[in-house]
Amino acid sequence: MKLRLMLWVLGVLLKRARTRKAAFRERLNALQRLDWGVGTEDLRIARHYRMSPAGIETAPGLPVDLDLELRFEDADSAIRLLRRPTQKAFLDGMMDGRVRLVGDAGDLQKLQGLLKHL
């Protein structure tokens, strides 16, 4: 339940940043579009975000047409990593098999550039 709530709140924070933070809007305008999602490996808990300069949409589940997916081994490891999302933590999680990146690593860097403006 905690992870589901965290992912929902992330959607609220993204929408809020788009309306209130100029730096976030500028980065989003430069990207034009980024569709990404976060979920557990078994997909019991998953949420996706479709971001463009026109707006941000969020919904449960992970559709197949996303640019980037972050899949976590379980909800507990996702919560630990998402509370303090550092590059080292993600790399360690990927090496340990707790995190799996589906998509382009370049999209992950674009996403990190956007999220630092939250």
pLDDT in tens, the chain (118 residues): 799 999 999 999 999 999 999 999 999 999 999 999 999 999 999 999 999 999 999 999 999 999 999 999 999 989 988 888 777 888 888 899 899 999 988 888 888 888 888 8
CATH number of the domain encompassing residue 14: 3.30.1050.10
Look up the pTM and report it: 0.90
- Edge to edge, the sheet with strand 68-72 lists 55-60, 46-52, 34-40, 68-72, 99-103
Can you name the residues that pair with 35 across neighbouring β-strands?
50
Domain range holding 79?
A: 2-115
Instruction: Count structural domains, the chain.
Output: 1
